Amino acid sequence: MTATKSTNDKWYLDAALKEEADASKVDTFVRKIESLEAAEYIDSPKDLATYGLDQPQAEVMIWTKEAGEKPVEKSFAVLIGKSDAEKKRVIVKNARLDYLFNVDSAFLDEFPKEAKDWKAPEPEKKKPEKKEGEK
């Protein structure tokens, strides 16, 4: 699934920018990924399979474009590995780094299972007002 922010500052769930996403859900998720804090570091892991990273639960790719005279594009990938429900922790790997993070798994609650989880809510339809004397 891909969420794309357009030039009109709205999030969309498709490359054609036709299906609008719920901006608050996407923004909340991106901020949670951005602010993950390690409870523990795992230096130089020998076998990524031990941590569920050989076949991760998910891979989150984030691209940014810094404004300026020459816009600079940056990207990073975060791999989501094994979860420990009892400790409420999950193993995470920034693809650019050689070490792993053990982080609070609460952000997984915001993780969409499918595109419809982030779809913008349908606008409420107004009911026609009744005229005086109508039932």
Q: 17 or 127, which is more confident?
A: 17
The pLDDT of residue 43 is above 70: yes
Q: How many CB atoms lie within 10 A of CB 38?
A: 13
In this predicted structure, what is the pLDDT of residue 127? 60
What's the mean per-residue pLDDT of the chain?
86
DSSP code per residue over 52-115: T-SS-SEEEEEEEEE-SSS-EEEEEEEEEEEEETTTTEEEEEETT-SSEEEEEGGGGGG--SSG
For 99-129, how does the pLDDT look when each residue is reduced to its tens digit (9 = 90+)? 999 999 998 888 888 888 888 877 766 666 6
**54, 45 in Cβ contact below 8 A?**
no
What's the one-letter identity of residue 133? Answer: G
Q: DSSP code of 119?
A: B
Q: What percent of the chain has pLDDT over 70?
A: 90
Which residue in 91, 61, 99 sits closest to 78, CA to CA? 61
- Mean pLDDT value of segment 61-85: 86
Enter the tokens of residue 65.
């474009």
d(CA 99, CA 57): 18
The pLDDT of residue 16 is above 80: no
